[in-house]
Chains A and B, each alone.
Chain A
Amino acid sequence: MASSKTITVEVDDVSYTDDVEPRLLLVQYLRERLGKTGTLIGCDTTNCGACTVHLDGVSVKSCTMFAVQADGHQVTTIEGMATDGKLAPLQEAFHQCHALQCGFCTPGMIMQSASLLKENPHPSEAEIRDGLEGNLCRCTGYQNIVAAVKSVADGVEYGDSGVSASLEDAQNAGVS
């Protein structure tokens, strides 16, 4: 077995120094060594995006790089998105727009969406869809994910009624 290497990585604002095997994937390092289990693994061919994190502010699929490649870099995971107990706008928007069901794709979707909005703060619906092409969701059919990202781009402010503004409807009143 190849000899291990010492790396120093800043993850969600904490600096870690660890000995790792060269073949250890970044996602394994995050999950297994640091206990950052918010970042998930959904495939073995770089297709699903469940493992998406930010490396120096840019989204990467953490299953496609080795932990050693993150040496000296800054990683942000879904667990580092909320600040001072306040949800990041995308987290809030995913909640408000019902952009998640089982939640398995959600960490990756949120990280990818954040990166997308950083590159293109005012994307069209088509640009949002294209920007999320590398992230699969089996539950939502994507429409509410697209709406959530759009709502952040549009600067929508959410109240605290506990009710979804976009998906409320009063059809039960009109029983036929």
Chain B
Amino acid sequence: MTATAQVHSNEVGKARLRKEDAHLITGRSRYTDNMVLPGMLHLAMVRSPYAHAKITGIDVAAAKASPGVMAVLTGADVAAEQGSLPNAWPITPDQKAPAHPSIAVDEVAFAGEVVAVIIARSVAAARDAVELVDVNYEELPVVLDLEEAFTDTVLAHPSLGTNLSANWVFDSGEAGTGAPVEEALANAEVLIERTFYQQRLIPSFMEPRSTVVDPTSEQLTMWTSTQIPHILRLMLALTLGIPESKVRVVAPDVGGGFGGKLQVTPEEIITVLAARRMGKPCKYTETRSESLMAAHHGRAQVQRLKLSATREGIVTGFSVNLLADMGAYLGLVTSGVPILGAFMFNSIYKFPAYRFECNNLFTNKAWTDAYRGAGRPEATFAIERIMDELAVELGMDPLELREKNWIKHEEFPFTTVCGLEYDSGNYEAATAKAVELFDYAGLRAEQLRRRNSNDPVQLGIGISTFTEMCGLAPSRVLGSLAYGAGGWEHAQVRVLPTGNVEVVTGSSAHGQGHETAWSQLVADRLGVPFENVEVLHGDTQVSQRGLDTYGSRSLTVGGMAVLAAADKVIEKAKVVAAHLLEASEDDIEFSAGNFTVKGTDTSTSLGEIALATFAAHNLPDGFEPNLDSDATFDPVNFSFPHGTHLAAMEVDTETGQVRIRKYVCVDDIGVVVNPMIVEGQVHGGLAQGIAQALYEEAVYDDAGTLVTGSFVDYLVPSAPDLPHYITDRTQTPSTTNQLGAKGVGEAGTIASTPAIVNGVLDAIRHLGVRDIKMPCSPSRVWHALEVAKTTGGAQ
């Protein structure tokens, strides 16, 4: 089977305008905070100002007496029912984790942790009363720095006896997927050792998190701004001991997630507890400051790297030693994020030996978890930065060095040193296209001119060739990594008596355009008009099964389930068609919505069959009068999108100001369903990756208070901060799914960060600057240049 054989490409490949837009551009949106229910009460959280403290007493009397306040709950009040927030990924059997109550009971471990909740008749009344809660804290020493945390001098959770949550190792020598790395490093002709820092980032979805819980009636209903209604429903049931069948979770319009809403949050649990107590609907919407402080963060790693190579530039071994910041607790997949990166440090290269070791450490900061790319941006940054360092050491063009080491087009499928089988790819093609669009030679010449003339504005060229594993994930692989769930996805296709089609998907979108893309898939497969397909999602009562949206999995997993369900519809309808057309089933052909008796023009349409099935007057004996079909798809492998990103960076050596002069990316994401949506995903991904390189960082002071606690200080880039991206694609279809698709949600974020930083360094390395910690802000760049000046370049 060729990858695209079964798809009639009428809709697939078209830049269909989005079905999702109409209500969003007219203000008829249904974000959770827009919801109002009769008798609804409002919550406000009392949060710890201290990063680490014992709670020695809470006086809520004044708050309770405040106008409009109905109740105040503390951790002690709900201790018996609140359970512990879930971590679904115990990466080692002996992983350590503190209990994680939604409302702290006797100790807080980061600033922003909830210690009490006000329930009041209005938001204003609730917030007013927050100030009136008198909490007595006994401050404890804080540990904030990762390297310090590793020494266990100060403990984030003294009761654990250590800051180390887990130590996880992959060694190609032990795994039998490659040679032992120690030998390679010992025999290195060239050895590059570097330490890179992945700063802490905040996902910063634009819609603050909001939850409404209605406890009336028999089934508890939660509307919440989440990426994971299905997982959340299960986790609510497990955490609170409610039968799963008594919980309904709805994700209405969700204003962005980027991994940041892939969580079971304390605030969601608290809203359930409050609603149950009061017997009335309750709503909680966080302020932006609360969001920045208490919604999970991402990245935050120290990467200690050793790369060995021959003088000719062939890499012989790569050793990665990570310190990964869990923050104060383990969230849903906190502990697994570094592991998702473990298999990607070798990227597109044929390294013969590789070792990865990760120490997951607790600190007294907000807990970390998935943020766009989750583990893979960190890995890609490390390898792409150090490949540039090797190129400098060898005096070799960094593109040439990469080409010497990457997997050649004709070598696919290729089993990597991590044991992953890359099914397809063409790094030569993507790179050639990027180099041409970029005018690589021209910009290198200009770089030389500026260098020779001592131009105050220096030019650098940053390269990032990358791949990622996405389409999470084959359930067996997740099982082997001790993840608590599978990686399949579910879909249902229903043909209504009118011939219109409803598609139910377990992959719940929050901006990705599933309604449009799934309509395109089904329109092609069933031969019905795009307009006649309706996609339903994001409500566990409508979509009973699903594993939700993350890890660039929607199309390659969820989309395949949709196609499989559509195929089952066709199979069922064929039986009816044969009956109605008085032919043998083997003689019925299906094409473009019509069932035809082979070699004749006798035919009937899917719509006619749907109506006949609905009426059920004349069906084959024993035929169940229903065409609707379910399918659950479990991928056999990941998909491996790749691409080449090139950034021309101008650095003003007098001010430290950095400007992106040109950004070119050529991505190979396989077969594309909707190029318009793909383009949007690439742009948004690039913006977030560039933001890590240049703008964003969650900064804490020495006491563990978040300094970047508002959008004044946490610099989410705005339009003038970002360039016009030049984007293009090559297309090597994935062979692991019938569509040939690969996934695009995270590619831009993964690839762009190292491209930008490599470009900045390439501009000023000759002035003695060897590294700059991200974000490369004007002051950091300027300082690096000053230090290089005074030390003559030796750092």
A, B co-complexed: yes
User: A162-B530, A164-B676 in contact; A132/B288 too (CB < 8 A)?
Assistant: no
Docked Cα-Cα span, A6 to B206, in Å, equals 33
Tell me if A103 and B684 are in contact (CB < 8 A). Answer: no
Tell me if A139 and B511 are in contact (CB < 8 A). Answer: yes
Docked Cα-Cα span, A87 to B672, in Å, equals 30
User: A141-B722, A144-B683, A164-B676 in contact; A44/B288 too (CB < 8 A)?
Assistant: yes
Tell me if B12 and A95 are in contact (CB < 8 A). Answer: no
Chain-A contact segment, one of B23-31, B91-99, B238-246, B497-505: B23-31
B593, CB-defined interface residue at 8 Å: no
What residue in chain B is nearest A47 (Cβ atoms)? Answer: B711
Residues of B near A129 (CB, < 8 A) are: 719-720
Tell me if B206 and A163 are in contact (CB < 8 A). Answer: no
CB 8 Å contact bits of B676-690 with A (1 = contact, 0 = none): 110110011111100
B408, CB-defined interface residue at 8 Å: no
Tell me if A169 and B27 are in contact (CB < 8 A). Answer: no
Residues of A near B765 (CB, < 8 A) are: none
Tell me if A163 and B15 are in contact (CB < 8 A). Answer: yes
Q: Which of B256, B672, B710 is within 8 Å of A104, CB to CB?
A: B256
Docked Cα-Cα span, A127 to B124, in Å, equals 39
Tell me if A48 and B25 are in contact (CB < 8 A). Answer: no
Docked Cα-Cα span, A73 to B30, in Å, equals 28
B471, CB-defined interface residue at 8 Å: no
Residues of B near A91 (CB, < 8 A) are: 25-26
CB 8 Å contact bits of B651-690 with A (1 = contact, 0 = none): 0000000000000000000011001110110011111100
Docked Cα-Cα span, A107 to B28, in Å, equals 10
A121 to chain B, nearest CB (A): 19
B619 to chain A, nearest CB (A): 36
Docked Cα-Cα span, A42 to B255, in Å, equals 10
Chain-A contact segment, one of B47-55, B167-175, B266-274, B728-736: B728-736
Q: How many A-B residue pairs have CB under 8 A?
A: 221
A133, CB-defined interface residue at 8 Å: yes
| Chain B interface, DSSP helix/strand/loop, else mixed | loop
Docked Cα-Cα span, A67 to B700, in Å, equals 36
Tell me if A138 and B29 are in contact (CB < 8 A). Answer: no
B77, CB-defined interface residue at 8 Å: no
Docked Cα-Cα span, A82 to B26, in Å, equals 7
Size range of the chain A interface in the assembly: 35 or more
Residues of A near B740 (CB, < 8 A) are: 175
CB 8 Å contact bits of B720-752 with A (1 = contact, 0 = none): 101011000111110000001000000010000
Docked Cα-Cα span, A169 to B25, in Å, equals 25
Docked Cα-Cα span, A15 to B165, in Å, equals 60
A14, CB-defined interface residue at 8 Å: no
A70, CB-defined interface residue at 8 Å: no
Q: Which of A43, A95, A104 is within 8 Å of B711, CB to CB?
A: A43
Residues of A near B542 (CB, < 8 A) are: none
Residues of A near B255 (CB, < 8 A) are: 40, 42, 102-104
Tell me if A107 and B27 are in contact (CB < 8 A). Answer: yes
Tell me if A96 and B17 are in contact (CB < 8 A). Answer: yes
User: A50-B206, A125-B724, A176-B732 in contact; A138/B716 too (CB < 8 A)?
Assistant: yes
Tell me if A104 and B206 are in contact (CB < 8 A). Answer: yes
Tell me if B27 and A104 are in contact (CB < 8 A). Answer: no
Tell me if A136 and B256 are in contact (CB < 8 A). Answer: no
Tell me if B683 and A140 are in contact (CB < 8 A). Answer: yes
Tell me if A143 and B206 are in contact (CB < 8 A). Answer: no
Tell me if A41 and B33 are in contact (CB < 8 A). Answer: yes
A100, CB-defined interface residue at 8 Å: yes
Tell me if B732 and A169 are in contact (CB < 8 A). Answer: no
CB 8 Å contact bits of A56-79 with B (1 = contact, 0 = none): 000000000000000000000111
Tell me if B680 and A144 are in contact (CB < 8 A). Answer: yes
Tell me if A95 and B289 are in contact (CB < 8 A). Answer: no
B476, CB-defined interface residue at 8 Å: no
Tell me if A175 and B17 are in contact (CB < 8 A). Answer: no
A26 to chain B, nearest CB (A): 15
A34 to chain B, nearest CB (A): 12
User: A98-B18, A104-B206, A136-B206 in contact; A172/B672 too (CB < 8 A)?
Assistant: yes
Q: Which of A38, A125, A134, A141 is within 8 Å of B28, CB to CB?
A: A38
Tell me if B679 and A167 are in contact (CB < 8 A). Answer: yes
A35 to chain B, nearest CB (A): 8
User: A87-B25, A98-B679 in contact; A172/B12 too (CB < 8 A)?
Assistant: yes
Docked Cα-Cα span, A105 to B167, in Å, equals 41
B426, CB-defined interface residue at 8 Å: yes
Q: Which of A1, A43, A77 is within 8 Å of B710, CB to CB?
A: A43
What residue in chain B is nearest A146 (Cβ atoms)? Answer: B719
What residue in chain A is nearest B689 (Cβ atoms)? Answer: A141
Tell me if A44 and B683 are in contact (CB < 8 A). Answer: no
Docked Cα-Cα span, A79 to B25, in Å, equals 9
Known interface pairs A44-B287, A44-B288, A81-B27; 19 further A-B residue pairs with C-beta atoms within 8 A, sorted by A's residue number: A21-B124, A38-B29, A45-B288, A78-B26, A95-B25, A101-B256, A102-B207, A103-B24, A103-B253, A103-B255, A104-B255, A106-B24, A137-B206, A137-B719, A138-B204, A141-B687, A171-B675, A171-B731, A172-B9
10 A-B contacts, Cβ less than 8 Å apart? A40-B29, A42-B208, A45-B288, A100-B25, A103-B21, A103-B511, A163-B14, A164-B676, A169-B15, A176-B732
4 shortest interchain CB distances as A-B pairs = A38-B27, A103-B24, A104-B255, A102-B511
